[in-house]
C-alpha cells in the first residue's frame, strides 16, 4: 500500500471516529436524497443498522406523509443553498413518535456534487416537560383566580360591617373601639389590594389581560391621579410639583392601566417620603414620552435596585428597613409598560430620594 493511500485511509478512520463520538445523529444525503453517510448515533436513534440504510431514502422507512415533508425540506436546501432548521415529527422503528429538530446545510464537493449535511436533536423529553409545565401553570392560574375571587365576597361583607359600625349606624362606640376598628379597616384595604394585585399579575402573566388602546392624553392621567391622591400628600405635609410638557400629543394607550401605573409609583413615593415633595415630569424627546416620578424620601439602596420590578420581592429603602406593599405593584407596572412597548427603571438620587422613569414610543399618536 502506498503512503498516500495509507494516509488517506488513516484520515478516513480518524474522520469516522470523530463523527461517531458525537452524541447527536448526523447524516449526509446526495442529490437523489440517498443516505451516503450516517454516524452511530443516527443508527441508535433510528434503530436500523447504518449498512442497511446507506443508499436508501426517507420513503424506504418512514410513513409517506412524514417522508414527503422531509423530502420537500431537503429540496429547499438543494435549491437555495440556505441553512434549514425545522422542528419535525418522526416515527421510530417501534412506532413511537418523536419531536426532533433537524439542522441542514448544503455542501458542494470539488466536482460540484451537492450534498445535504444534517444534524438531528431529539427534543421529545423537552417538549413533554414544557407541556407539563404549561399545564401546571394553567392549574396554578385557575387556582389563583378562584381563590382570589372567593376571598372577595367575605372581604366585602367584613368591610361593609366595619364601615357600618364606624359610621355609628349600629350605635355609639368609644374611642378605643374606634381605634381598633380603624386598624381592622386598614388591614381590610391592604388585603383587598393584595387580592387585586395577585389577580392583575396572574392575568398579565398568562396573557389574559385585555388592553383597550385608545387615543388618550398622558398629562390628563397624571393630573387625575395626583388629584385623587392629594389627601394622602396633604396628610404627610408633602406637596406635588407638576412639570408637564404641553406639547405631548394624544397617543394610543390603555388609560385605566396607566392610572394604575401612576397610582402605584405615587403611592410608593408618598410611602417613603416624610418631608419635602414629589415631582412628576413629562416630556417629549425623539417621538418618545418620558415620565419621571422624583421624591425626596429615603432613597433606594443600589443592592435593592435589581429587586424592584421582580414579582413578590420588596426592596428595602436606605436608612429605612421598611417594606411596603405586596411586592407585586412594580412588577405589574413593568408588565403594563412592556405591553405598551416601553421601558421602566429606577435610580437613587445623590441628594437623597429616588427617581422612577418610564418611557413609551408614541406609535399611533393622534395627529
Q: Residue 182's domain is classified under what CATH number?
A: 1.10.287.130
Q: Decide if pLDDT at 6 tops 50.
A: no
Number of domains in the chain: 3
Q: What span, in angstroms and rounded, lies between the C-alpha atoms of 61 and 45?
A: 13
Which of 91, 122, 153 terminates a domain? The answer is 122
**Residue 93 domain-assigned?**
yes
Average pLDDT over residues 312-337: 68
Q: Decide if pLDDT at 138 tops 90.
A: no
Q: Decide if pLDDT at 321 tops 70.
A: no
The domain that holds 233 is classified in CATH as 3.30.565.10
Same domain, 219 and 319: yes
Average pLDDT over residues 332-344: 92
Same domain, 192 and 324: no
Same domain, 68 and 182: no
Domain limits for position 327: 214-361
253, 260 in Cβ contact below 8 A?
no
Is pLDDT larger for residue 231 or for residue 199? 231
Same domain, 341 and 225: yes
Same domain, 353 and 223: yes
Q: Quote the mean pLDDT of the chain.
A: 84
pLDDT classification of 326: cutoffs 50, 70, 90: low
Same domain, 70 and 90: yes
Query: Locate cell 396554578: which residue?
Result: 140
The domain that holds 76 is classified in CATH as 3.30.450.20
Strand locations in the chain (E):
26-29, 35-38, 84-91, 97-108, 114-122, 214-216, 239-244, 251-253, 277-285, 288-295, 343-348, 354-361
**Residue 78 domain-assigned?**
yes
Express as a percent the part of the chain with pLDDT over 70: 89
pTM: 0.57
Which cell numbers hold the place of 30? 446526495
Q: Decide if pLDDT at 154 tops 90.
A: no
**Residue 118 domain-assigned?**
yes
Which of 188, 206, 224 terminates a domain? The answer is 206
Same domain, 151 and 246: no
Q: Decide if pLDDT at 324 tops 70.
A: no
pLDDT of residue 365: 55
Which of 122, 141, 160 terminates a domain? The answer is 122
| Per-residue H/E/C for 228-256 | HHHHHHHHCCCEEEEEECCCCCCEEECHH
Same domain, 231 and 199: no
**Residue 345 domain-assigned?**
yes
**Residue 367 domain-assigned?**
no
pLDDT digits (tens, 9 = 90+) for 244-298: 999 999 999 999 999 999 999 999 899 889 999 999 999 998 889 999 999 998 8
Same domain, 222 and 357: yes
Q: 10-24, 29-43, 139-153, 215-229: lowest mean pLDDT where?
A: 139-153
- Residues ≥6 apart with Cβ < 8 Å to 3: none
Q: Decide if pLDDT at 143 tops 90.
A: no
Amino acid at each position: 500500500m502506498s503512503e498516500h493511500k495509507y494516509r488517506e485511509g488513516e484520515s478516513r478512520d480518524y474522520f469516522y471516529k470523530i463523527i461517531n463520538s458525537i452524541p447527536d445523529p448526523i447524516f449526509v444525503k446526495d442529490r437523489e436524497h440517498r443516505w451516503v453517510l450516517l454516524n452511530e448515533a443516527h443508527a441508535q436513534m433510528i434503530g436500523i443498522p447504518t449498512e442497511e440504510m446507506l443508499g436508501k431514502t426517507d420513503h424506504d422507512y418512514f410513513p409517506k406523509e412524514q417522508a414527503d415533508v422531509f423530502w420537500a425540506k431537503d429540496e429547499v436546501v438543494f435549491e437555495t443553498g440556505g441553512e434549514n432548521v425545522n422542528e419535525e415529527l418522526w416515527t421510530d422503528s417501534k412506532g413511537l413518535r418523536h419531536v426532533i429538530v433537524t439542522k441542514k446545510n448544503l455542501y458542494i464537493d470539488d466536482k460540484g456534487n451537492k450534498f445535504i449535511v444534517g444534524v438531528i436533536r431529539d427534543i421529545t423529553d423537552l417538549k413533554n416537560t414544557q407541556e407539563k409545565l404549561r399545564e401546571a401553570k394553567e392549574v396554578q392560574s385557575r387556582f389563583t383566580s378562584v381563590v382570589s375571587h372567593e376571598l372577595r365576597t367575605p372581604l366585602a361583607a367584613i368591610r361593609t360591617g366595619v364601615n357600618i359600625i364606624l359610621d355609628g349606624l349600629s350605635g355609639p362606640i368609644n374611642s378605643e373601639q374606634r381605634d381598633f376598628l380603624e386598624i381592622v379597616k386598614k388591614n381590610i384595604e391592604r388585603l383587598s389590594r393584595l387580592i387585586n394585585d395577585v389577580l392583575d399579575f396572574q392575568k398579565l402573566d398568562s396573557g389574559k389581560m385585555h388592553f383597550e388602546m385608545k387615543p388618550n392624553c398622558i398629562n390628563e392621567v397624571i393630573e387625575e391621579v395626583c388629584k385623587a391622591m392629594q389627601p394622602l400628600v396633604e396628610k404627610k405635609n408633602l406637596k406635588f410639583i407638576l412639570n408637564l410638557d404641553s406639547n405631548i400629543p394624544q397617543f394610543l394607550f390603555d388609560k385605566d392601566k396607566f392610572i394604575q401605573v401612576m397610582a402605584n409609583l405615587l403611592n410608593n413615593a408618598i410611602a417613603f417620603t416624610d418631608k419635602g415633595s414629589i415631582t412628576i415630569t413629562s416630556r417629549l424627546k425623539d417621538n418618545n414620552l418620558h415620565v419621571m416620578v422624583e421624591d425626596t424620601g429615603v432613597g433606594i439602596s443600589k443592592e435593592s435596585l435589581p429587586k424592584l420590578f421582580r414579582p413578590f420581592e420588596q426592596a428595602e429603602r436606605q436608612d429605612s428597613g421598611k417594606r411596603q406593599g405586596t411586592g407585586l405593584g412594580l412588577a405589574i407596572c413593568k408588565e403594563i409598560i412592556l405591553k405598551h412597548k416601553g421601558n421602566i427603571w429606577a435610580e437613587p438620587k445623590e441628594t437623597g430620594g429616588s427617581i422612577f422613569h418610564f418611557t413609551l414610543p408614541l406609535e399611533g399618536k393622534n395627529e
